[in-house]
Structure 1
Amino acid sequence: MIRTKAAARCRRGAVLALPGLWVAGVVVWELLSPLGVHFVQLLAAAPAIACAGSGRRQCVLLGGGCALFALVPLGSAGRADPAMRLGTCCAVLAVVAAAWLTSHRRLRLTRELERLREIAATAQHAVLRPLPPRLDGLTLAGGHRSASEGALLGGDLYEALATRHGVRLVIGDVRGHGLPALGTVAALLGSFREAAHDEDGLPGVLRRMERAFHRHLGDRASGQSPPSGEDFATVLVLQVGPENEVTALNCGHPWPHRLTGGDHRPPAGVRAEVLSAGEPLPPLGMFPLPAEPPVRRLTRLLPGETLVLHTDGVEDARDAAGRFFPLTRALTEAAASAPVVPAAVVDRVRAAVLRHTGGVLTDDFALLALRNDRAPDRTPRGPLAGSCPHG
């Protein structure tokens, strides 16, 4: 932070000094030039440089000074041609007027752009709301990154809600990225936020999301952006019940990771494992949901253990040599602390992805981490693999 502020001060100083150095160079050159060689016309560039780098006030002040310099005989060339000095003075004043008007328009457009960015940021934060730090005994953290320049979010989504059935979470990835995918994200998140409280089982939540997804595609078809026939969304709906039992419905989405061993000396005691529970259902939009979607029982999340949910933009991130991002290793390194801190895991993995790709992303990505901080119980861990049709 200190280096950044120092660099900014250096840049501001260079911007302010450059027009003055230009004027000084022209004056010295004019004084030392032989008879018949004119350089005073170059003074007209100084106001333009000042407007481009600093602002209108500096432009006017420097322009007036340059106009006065142009009227003063400088060297043998200046004394030989008074009309040239007057013409240069007029040219400097014309440049000042043009630069002042251009700078005024640029400042107005800049203010409008900043206002539009503020409105867009507010709208995007309303769609993908920040996660609460704690929810029903769970510590939460989320993070995302859009591949589109200037967009805070794109085609990835996540949410966590405390309901009477436990904490219900969703993470998903709609086709496409950046601002064009924002409408689909809003439709899916809106339906999840209602259905998570109303539906008794995860199949009902997922079916409500599917209906909202198809309604959104129908609205697009009636407007100016018809669906391409290939619109789909991967979705993982997950529930952490009152007894810490983790169940999930997966439609084409990557399975979550579990971080265990955070109470031992890092990094050897921290392990990251994928909680795979068989083949997921096809993504939403590709095929209709089955009559009874299979709810998978993933694990029982013990106190102190952490779940990490992610979109495929994390695993599919490549470096310049085409190598995929090593997510499991990155999670193990990011969780090398006791206890595991979800916010630190999200920040470290996000930074590792950007380092791996050199900051050049081809797809959006999102991360969601939750740690069980509920009071320990005596319920033993049992084999929970398999499916439960009714959730």
Structure 2
Amino acid sequence: MRGDDLAAGLALLIVSAVALLGLLEGTTLYWLPLLAVGPALAAVTSRPWGVLRVGLLALALGVALGSRPGGPRVHEQMIVLAAVVAVTLASSLASARRRRREQVLADVRSVAEAAQHALLKPVPPTVGPFQVAVRYSAAAAEARIGGDLYAVVPTPHGVRLIVGDVRGKGLPAVGTAALVLGVFREAAYDEPDLLGVVHRVERSLARNLGPDDFVTAVFAGFPRPGCLEVVNCGHAPPLLVRGSGVMAVESGSPAPPLGLSSLTGDAPTCQVLPFGAEDQLLLYTDGVSEARNHGREFYPVAERVVHHLSCEPSQTLAGLHDELLEHVGGRLHDDAALLLIRKPAFAGSAEPTRPEEPTHVNPPT
């Protein structure tokens, strides 16, 4: 039963119970004021006309009970009935105001849905020769978007993607995420080199971010078959999954987060790795790797990903996400994004010689 039907049924049940008690008791005055509870409760979920119907029923029962032999005196009955009428009218007004607020909230949610699709566009299951899946969870209640960002873009220079995390929360973080994604989608088409994409995003953030703001991000690209490029700007290292082994793609020359390069002078570097058939690359934000359980233990994403591997990236991420929620006790305390890209065995004909299997590594504690 829906919540509104339950509340309306409970209101009618209370009115009926009061009427029954009035019939059983010799003196009905003590029970008649409780008839006002019916329309007051109906106002919680019912429309104004529904509240008025419950109020009219309560008023009719009050008149019938008060007219019985041995009932209350006329002026006492009028006071009780006046109270029922007053509560009914006030409850109807409250119901009308609640309905207007619900409509405004529905309009705001529809705008938020449109903003979500404009900012974090849905990723198709296949992009170019790759299988792709994304799972995103915002920590804020009722929120659909937050400070984490992701995008997968097919370009003339190969498939390119980004996963990042904006410092801070709320609307300012969402605005910064929108800025990063807008510049990335444009630069990914224009710049032939992945580092050129990173520099474009860095220059834009330098003009628009405050002195204390920054964005950690990982850029990845597949410029040609069998080749993976990774540029890490202060973000958690992506995980390269090959067979049953997992290797953290650690940067040999760590670069600062986007927006802070002018303070350190360190330039990002591009790592080039082989990426053959059935290889997978998992990118994630710190809402995943730093999620803690009740024992304050981090979620071991590098260790657990091998237990959920599937030929369908969406199934892999579904298993990881469900286990992550179980790890934290059902609710995340930070935005969390997971992006998995996989090259199926039938995609592409020219595959590089496969390097030796990477060993499984645990994330740092």
Q: TM-score, normalised by structure 2?
A: 0.89
- Residues 147 and 363 in structure 1, CA contact (< 8 A), matched pair in contact too: yes
Q: 1:5-44 residue pairs with structure 2 within 5 A?
A: 9=1, 11=3, 13-35=5-27, 38-44=30-36
Q: 1:99-114 residue pairs with structure 2 within 5 A?
A: 99-114=91-106
Q: Give the aligned partner of residue 61 of structure 1.
A: 53
Secondary structure in 2 aligned to 1:52? coil
The one-letter amino acid of 2:230's match is A
The CA RMSD measured in Å over matched residues stands at: 2.3
With 272-281 and 99-108 compared, the bigger mean Cα shift is at 272-281
Q: Give the aligned partner of residue 134 of structure 2.
A: 142
Once residues 255 and 291 of structure 1 are traced to their aligned partners in structure 2, the CA distance between those partners, rounded to angstroms, is 18
Secondary structure in 2 aligned to 1:24? helix
Secondary structure in 2 aligned to 1:332? helix
Shift in alpha-carbon separation, 1:178–1:144, aligned structure 2, 3 A: farther
Shift in alpha-carbon separation, 1:80–1:164, aligned structure 2, 3 A: closer
Once residues 242 and 80 of structure 1 are traced to their aligned partners in structure 2, the CA distance between those partners, rounded to angstroms, is 91
- Residues 29 and 71 in structure 2, CA contact (< 8 A), matched pair in contact too: no
Does structure 1 residue 293 correspond to structure 2 residue 268?
Answer: yes
Q: Give the aligned partner of residue 223 of structure 1.
A: none
- Residues 146 and 177 in structure 1, CA contact (< 8 A), matched pair in contact too: no
Secondary structure in 2 aligned to 1:66? helix
The one-letter amino acid of 1:342's match is P
Secondary structure in 1 aligned to 2:44? helix
- Residues 286 and 336 in structure 2, CA contact (< 8 A), matched pair in contact too: yes
Once residues 317 and 103 of structure 1 are traced to their aligned partners in structure 2, the CA distance between those partners, rounded to angstroms, is 41
Shift in alpha-carbon separation, 1:86–1:187, aligned structure 2, 3 A: same
Q: Give the aligned partner of residue 379 of structure 1.
A: 352
Once residues 260 and 360 of structure 1 are traced to their aligned partners in structure 2, the CA distance between those partners, rounded to angstroms, is 31
Once residues 235 and 95 of structure 2 are traced to their aligned partners in structure 1, the CA distance between those partners, rounded to angstroms, is 50
Aligned length: 354
| Residue 11 (structure 1) shift | 4.5
Shift in alpha-carbon separation, 1:13–1:36, aligned structure 2, 3 A: closer
- Residues 30 and 39 in structure 1, CA contact (< 8 A), matched pair in contact too: yes
Once residues 128 and 253 of structure 2 are traced to their aligned partners in structure 1, the CA distance between those partners, rounded to angstroms, is 30
Does structure 1 residue 192 correspond to structure 2 residue 184?
Answer: yes
Shift in alpha-carbon separation, 1:179–1:150, aligned structure 2, 3 A: farther
| Residue 42 (structure 1) shift | 0.9
The C-alpha deviation readout for 1:289-325, integer Å capped at 9, x for no partner, is: 758632112x311112211111111000111221111
Q: 1:1-391 residue pairs with structure 2 within 5 A?
A: 9=1, 11=3, 13-35=5-27, 38-73=30-65, 79-217=71-209, 227=210, 229-261=211-243, 270-288=244-262, 293-297=268-272, 299-335=273-309, 337=310, 340-373=311-344, 374-382=347-355
| Residue 107 (structure 1) shift | 0.5
Q: Give the aligned partner of residue 388 of structure 1.
A: none
| Residue 344 (structure 1) shift | 1.4
- Residues 55 and 84 in structure 2, CA contact (< 8 A), matched pair in contact too: yes
- Residues 116 and 145 in structure 2, CA contact (< 8 A), matched pair in contact too: yes
Once residues 349 and 305 of structure 2 are traced to their aligned partners in structure 1, the CA distance between those partners, rounded to angstroms, is 25
Secondary structure in 1 aligned to 2:53? helix
With 374-383 and 60-69 compared, the bigger mean Cα shift is at 374-383
Once residues 265 and 195 of structure 2 are traced to their aligned partners in structure 1, the CA distance between those partners, rounded to angstroms, is 10
Shift in alpha-carbon separation, 1:356–1:292, aligned structure 2, 3 A: closer
Once residues 239 and 367 of structure 1 are traced to their aligned partners in structure 2, the CA distance between those partners, rounded to angstroms, is 17
Q: Is there any run of 5+ residues in structure 2 with no aligned partner, and where?
A: 359-365
The one-letter amino acid of 1:242's match is R
| Residue 165 (structure 1) shift | 2.2
Shift in alpha-carbon separation, 1:292–1:254, aligned structure 2, 3 A: closer
Shift in alpha-carbon separation, 1:22–1:162, aligned structure 2, 3 A: same
Shift in alpha-carbon separation, 1:80–1:197, aligned structure 2, 3 A: closer
Shift in alpha-carbon separation, 1:88–1:379, aligned structure 2, 3 A: same
Shift in alpha-carbon separation, 1:179–1:346, aligned structure 2, 3 A: farther
Shift in alpha-carbon separation, 1:366–1:210, aligned structure 2, 3 A: same
Secondary structure in 1 aligned to 2:219? strand
Shift in alpha-carbon separation, 1:237–1:78, aligned structure 2, 3 A: farther
- Residues 40 and 88 in structure 2, CA contact (< 8 A), matched pair in contact too: yes
- Residues 238 and 249 in structure 2, CA contact (< 8 A), matched pair in contact too: yes
